[in-house]
Amino acid sequence: MKSSFAPWSVPGERPLVRFDNVTKRFGGIVAVDQLNLDIYEREFLALLGPSGCGKSTLLRLLAGFEAPEGGRILIGGEDAAGTPPYRRPVNMMFQNYALFPHLSVAGNIAFGLKQEGLPRAEVKRRVEEMLALVALEGFAKRKPHQLSGGQRQRVALARSLAKRPKVLLLDEPMAALDRKLRSETQFELLKIQQSLGTTFIIVTHDQDEAMVLAHRIAVMDRGRILQLGTPAEIYEQPSSCWVANFVGEANLIEGVVSAINGSYVTVTANGGETLRATALGEVWPGTRTFVAVRPEKIAISLQEPPPGSVNCLAGRIAEASYLGDKIVYRVRLGSGAEVRAAAATVSRISDMAAGKDDPVWLLWTPDAGVALDH
């Protein structure tokens, strides 16, 4: 189970892959900036960030397609410097799958094995094993153009795993799939990784994909890791306003810290409201802070709460968007700022009690919000 897998928390546990102060530049652009990262055996790690943040460069450095200009990359405790890609215990699955159009499914899977000079019987056995793994037993003789996008993706995965690498690198492998097929394929990929125990590292800009697949997520921007943690840690305890906004949606309510009580802080919002939240950053009385609250943690009420209630904002509904499983409300406060609240759909849209311009109050518990210093 993902929840019980945490080798990074075991003292003395050696990582399978270590990026040690690694830097990579392309001209005047710093793609990877003095980056440190440990990745463990059997881990499924997601590199999550916007385009150009350095995620794919990190994969190419590990695969040996690029060389770092500073720092070291260790695989199994050994420095990988000077080791060509074909001699590294690493394989890479590219975004466009890079299948050979003139070869059959079986021929594509067998290609790397034949290049290594494996006996014919061993090649045949591994091809059959991989076809069974990705549920394509009846497709061995088909050519890539006779397959669907999802089937081509599975052939590319089988080919990448056939050589039994210690680490499989996946560079946005599901970007070309439609939403429903992408969701189905994510669970297939997770099942395969768990059954093989191979270390998987996936590059993605899709936060939902990272949350579903990964034991840990490394959130990147401008060549650096801004936060590394489990999906729950990243979502519930973001290290900054940037992370809170990038991973999911977050309301950021600015104010001044007026008191600190244990792990909670009291904040006076710019509109004068009293807010209470968990302190994650370094905050102290008199400093400006942002209280980050996820839309689904905010309750929306037509009834005015008692005077003096904490974590209570008054406003009017600017827009209500029906999304099937939930309704997202944009509520405009008296200050002109807007706050988003999400409510699960428990009845038909025609039964909605709140509509545009209706006065409402937004409420949440003190442990639902976090105070961030930036």
pLDDT at 283: 78
User: What pLDDT, in 10s, does the model give residues 210-243?
Assistant: 999 999 999 999 999 999 999 999 999 999 999 9
What confidence tier does 369 reach under pLDDT thresholds 50, 70, 90? very high
User: Is pLDDT at 3 greater than 70 in this prediction?
Assistant: no
Beta strands at 44-48 and 216-221: parallel, antiparallel or unpaired: parallel
| Residues with Cβ within 8 Å of residue 132, at least 6 apart in sequence | none
pLDDT at 188: 85
| Residues with Cβ within 8 Å of residue 264, at least 6 apart in sequence | 276, 277, 278, 279, 366
Alpha-carbon gap, residue 84 to 75, rounded angstroms: 13
pLDDT at 345: 80
Average pLDDT over the chain reads: 91
- The CATH superfamily of 249-372 is Nucleic acid-binding proteins (2.40.50.140)
pLDDT at 347: 64
Q: Map tokens 């959130």 to a residue.
A: 219
Which of 91-105, 114-128, 235-249, 283-297 is least confident? 91-105
What percentage of the chain carries pLDDT values higher than 70? 97
| Residues with Cβ within 8 Å of residue 157, at least 6 apart in sequence | 93, 134, 173, 189, 192
- pLDDT average, residue stretch 29-39: 97
Domain boundaries of the chain, sorted by first residue: 2-241, 249-372
- pLDDT average, residue stretch 67-71: 96
Give me 51's structure tokens: 């385009």
What's this model's pTM, rounded to 2 decimal places?
0.90
Is 33 in contact with 23 (CB distance < 8 Å)? Answer: yes
pLDDT at 307: 85
Enter the CATH code of domain 2-241: 3.40.50.300
pLDDT at 336: 87
User: What pLDDT, in 10s, does the model give residues 162-196?
Assistant: 989 999 999 988 876 777 777 888 888 898 898 88
pLDDT at 271: 86
What confidence tier does 316 reach under pLDDT thresholds 50, 70, 90? very high
pLDDT at 2: 67
CA-CA distances (angstroms) from residue 11 to 6, 14, 20, 133? 11, 9, 19, 34
Alpha-carbon gap, residue 254 to 296, rounded angstroms: 19
